[in-house]
A and B are shown apart, each in its own frame.
Chain A
Amino acid sequence: MTDRRIPLALDRVRLTYPDGDRRLTALDDVGLRVAAGELVAVAGPSGSGKSSLLAVAATLLRPDAGTVRLAGQDVGVLRAAARTALRRRAVGIVFQQPNLLPSLTSVEQLLVTAHLRGGRRALRRATERRRAEELLESVGLDASRRRRRPHRLSGGERQRVNIARALFGTPQVLLVDEPTSALDHERGARVAELLREVTRTHGTATVLVTHDLGVLGRADRVLHMTDGRLAE
């Protein structure tokens, strides 16, 4: 398959952290290829390296060894500013906690990412605002909630805004960190279904880290991570 159809590819990735006099291995010879429109779930106990995997895939951490290709680009050869630009262009992150900015309404949570990408001109375009409204509607946030700030939204609604924000830049890669951990079973199931749907609709290569068995059942592939090693 070409890079265009495999937006995310990790090959023999190794990542260690300093721990006193020694180094802890967070990722050990990890390989992962995720196709466009594919939802890959990664399960594993706490401390097994799931979040490290997401951080490396999001270009937030540089591995000690191995290669990471994102949207067809070898991340290893890029400088910090170029990695940030690539992340802005090609990656959407759904955080475990919604991490919404308290001063922004739901629509503005999305528009701020457009501002980062295109400056003020992007915001002047009414189409950006309309697209944000449509995206929020598509993740199930009704019109009355779109003008509200985070403190006036429920946990489930905040998570929907979190997902919409990650999708607003039409990323090729969607990285999702424990999206249901703060939600009850019913709302968690709805969010999991929503993630599967957006992966299909938007054609993203989605990596979802979770403990939630209900979410695992909706993935195209489930990988298990133990002590930094990834296995089917």
Chain B
Amino acid sequence: MFVALRDLRFARGRFALMGVVVTLLATLVVFLHGLTEGLARDSSSAVAGLPADRIAFGAPGGAEPEVSFSDSTVSAEQVRGWTAADGVRAAEPLGVAMTRLTVRAGAGSVSLFGGPPALLPRLTEGTAPGRGEAAVSAAVAGTYGLTVGDRVRLGTRGLTVSGVTEDRAHAHAPTVWTDLPTWHTVSGHERPTVLALTLASGADVPAVDARLATATVPTGDAVEGIASHAAEQGSLRLVQGCLFVVAALVTGAFFTVWTVQRRPEIAVLKAVGASSGYLVRDALAQALVLLLGGTLLGAGLALAGGLVAVRGVPFVLDVRTAGPPVAAMVVLGLAGAGLAVRRITSVDPLTALGAGR
């Protein structure tokens, strides 16, 4: 780091300019990461938070089952089959539908989940819903000023609020929970949507799937079955990926130009006994200082921007979740710099003696 640190001080204008570019890219990447996480929470937190190991999807009329909440229904036979299967501790039918909630204060779209109390998110107020009752998520209670005992209209049915749950959402709509019979009544669906499975050891999931014509996936993977979730997350991750590539290319381009400009100095250092390894390490340390400084500053700006943005858009970001994109920026930037500073190895120390003259 002897020469690297002094170069950083000496050419502070050039490094500051590059630092600003890295900072802006990091701000963009980290902010986008927060937005992606926020949208993911908004579209999948209800499913991702289910206290179940697997979700089994069915298909009506003997069709090929797919991992899709909008296409899935499970029959009574499938419920019985999974309940009786070896290694299955619990197979709880769960209804998922979209509906409209209406109260005096207004109306809006909600996702309606119908199932047993065991699947209910943690209650912050009141009790689990019984027949003709609903537990609303904190966002719904906050938006419409609902408390336990209030009346709401879900679709065309009037229900009483029995409790308020932790904040959960599904397909960008906050959740309202009922028991399964009430869910059938409100949604108009005759069959539940999926099965939430809790497994013990020894369950042969593929065999039961084949026998009962279901498609079973781990709960974390079931979020891919939420309409628009995969496309939305895929698009945002693609943009993030492109930004990572841009960061690596920009860093590589900067260090390519920097290395080419330093060829005479590198030749002198080699002539006085510096090994290529020493010089490459020195240059990479310089890149690391630049990338760490730029990305940490950028992450800080994104976190500050997120505090403002969270009032208007779904945004989830803290120091822990900002870590992976920051680390990726640094690692990919270093890879770009590494490719650039390889040129150091090809510098001939003989040129310091004026071999070219």
Interface residues of B in 201-241 (CB under 8 A from A): none
Contacts of A97 in B (CB 8 A): 354
Contacts of B76 in A (CB 8 A): none
Is the CB–CB distance between A102 and B272 below 8 Å?
no
Q: A58-B271, A87-B273 are contacts. A112–B2 as well, Cβ < 8 Å? A: yes
Interface residues of B in 1-34 (CB under 8 A from A): 2-3, 6-7, 9-11
The CA-CA distance from A58 to B268 in the complex, in Å, is 13
Choose, from B186-194, B250-258, B334-342, B345-353, the stretch at the interface. B345-353
Q: Is A54 an interface residue (CB 8 A)?
A: yes
Using an 8 Å CB-CB cutoff, how does the interface string of B240-276 with A read, 1 for contact, 0 for none? 0000000000000000000000001100111111110
Is the CB–CB distance between A81 and B275 below 8 Å?
yes
Contacts of A95 in B (CB 8 A): 268, 271, 352-354
Closest to A96 in B: B354
The CA-CA distance from A81 to B268 in the complex, in Å, is 16
Looking at the complex, which one of A54, A60, A85, A101 makes contact with B349 (CB distance below 8 Å)? Answer: A60
The CA-CA distance from A85 to B354 in the complex, in Å, is 22
The CA-CA distance from A89 to B3 in the complex, in Å, is 20
Is the CB–CB distance between A113 and B6 below 8 Å?
no
How many cross-chain pairs have Cβ atoms below 8 Å apart between A and B? 80
How many residues on the A side are at the interface (Cβ–Cβ under 8 A)? Answer: 35
Looking at the complex, which one of A58, A102, A117 makes contact with B353 (CB distance below 8 Å)? Answer: A58
Is the CB–CB distance between A116 and B273 below 8 Å?
yes
Q: Is B319 an interface residue (CB 8 A)?
A: no
Is the CB–CB distance between B272 and A51 below 8 Å?
no
Q: Is B105 an interface residue (CB 8 A)?
A: no
By Cβ-Cβ distance, the 8 closest A-B pairs, closest first, are: A88-B273, A103-B10, A103-B6, A115-B2, A99-B268, A103-B7, A60-B350, A87-B273
What are 27 A-B pairs with beta-carbon distances under 8 A? A54-B353, A55-B350, A58-B353, A60-B271, A84-B274, A87-B271, A88-B273, A91-B273, A95-B268, A95-B354, A96-B354, A99-B265, A101-B3, A101-B269, A102-B10, A102-B265, A104-B3, A108-B2, A111-B2, A112-B2, A112-B3, A113-B272, A115-B2, A116-B273, A165-B272, A166-B272, A177-B354
The CA-CA distance from A108 to B5 in the complex, in Å, is 12
Q: Is A93 an interface residue (CB 8 A)?
A: yes
Using an 8 Å CB-CB cutoff, how does the interface string of B274-292 with A read, 1 for contact, 0 for none? 1100100000000000000
Interface residues of A in 23-67 (CB under 8 A from B): 51, 54-55, 58, 60-61
Is the CB–CB distance between B272 and A93 below 8 Å?
yes
What is the CB-to-nearest-CB distance from A99 to chain B, in angstroms, rounded to a whole number?
4
Is the CB–CB distance between A99 and B352 below 8 Å?
yes
Contacts of B354 in A (CB 8 A): 51, 95-97, 177
Q: A55-B355, A58-B353, A93-B272 are contacts. A116–B6 as well, Cβ < 8 Å? A: no
Is the CB–CB distance between B353 and A103 below 8 Å?
no
Further contacts, 7 of them, CB under 8 A, given A103-B11, A166-B272: A55-B353, A58-B353, A89-B273, A99-B265, A99-B268, A101-B269, A104-B3
The CA-CA distance from A43 to B275 in the complex, in Å, is 32
What is the CB-to-nearest-CB distance from B8 to chain A, in angstroms, rounded to a whole number?
8
Using an 8 Å CB-CB cutoff, how does the interface string of A155-172 with B read, 1 for contact, 0 for none? 000000000011001000
Contacts of B275 in A (CB 8 A): 81, 84
Using an 8 Å CB-CB cutoff, how does the interface string of B144-185 with A read, 1 for contact, 0 for none? 000000000000000000000000000000000000000000
Contacts of A88 in B (CB 8 A): 272-274
Q: Is A190 an interface residue (CB 8 A)?
A: no
The CA-CA distance from A88 to B274 in the complex, in Å, is 8
Closest to A88 in B: B273
The CA-CA distance from A103 to B3 in the complex, in Å, is 8
The CA-CA distance from A55 to B157 in the complex, in Å, is 94
